[in-house]
Amino acid sequence: MKNAFTRFGKSFVSLLVVGGVMTAGLFAGTTAVATVTLPHAVTVGNTTLPSGHYTISSVDMASGDDVFIIRADKGNAVAALQAQKVTLPTQAEKTQITVSKDGATWSLDKMVIEGTDVSYQFTK
């Protein structure tokens, strides 16, 4: 019986280590860009995010595409969206997220990053 518990314990620890390494690998290419508080529900692709606090992170894609992951305060990945990079004439003084309203639906429109001359237009 003791051997069965020992084998189970070793298997469980191995599973945790492998799972941790895989999770770290998935998020290794992400960089936090902005935190935002959405005052009302916002549609991102096919997902509607309820109002609340979120972190927007960029993902380094091998293809060079600009992709962002939006996570709720609890750290769960809730949405991914693609953006088109637009160069600004000057550097932005602060990070800004712009939402737009179409009828009763709010959606993320664009994001400007503080200290850079880069803006991202989110694709719908």
Residue 72 near residue 44, CB atoms below 8 Å: no
pLDDT per residue as tens, the chain (124 positions)? 555 545 544 444 333 333 443 344 344 456 778 899 988 899 888 888 988 899 999 888 778 788 899 999 876 768 888 999 999 999 999 999 999 999 999 999 999 989 999 899 988 7
Render the burial of 20-45: b for 16+ CB within 10 Å, e for the rest. eeeeeeeeeebeebbebebeeebbbe
Q: How far is CA 85 from the centre of its chain?
A: 17
Read off the pTM: 0.67
pLDDT given for residue 31 in this prediction: 72
pLDDT given for residue 99 in this prediction: 92
pLDDT given for residue 29 in this prediction: 55
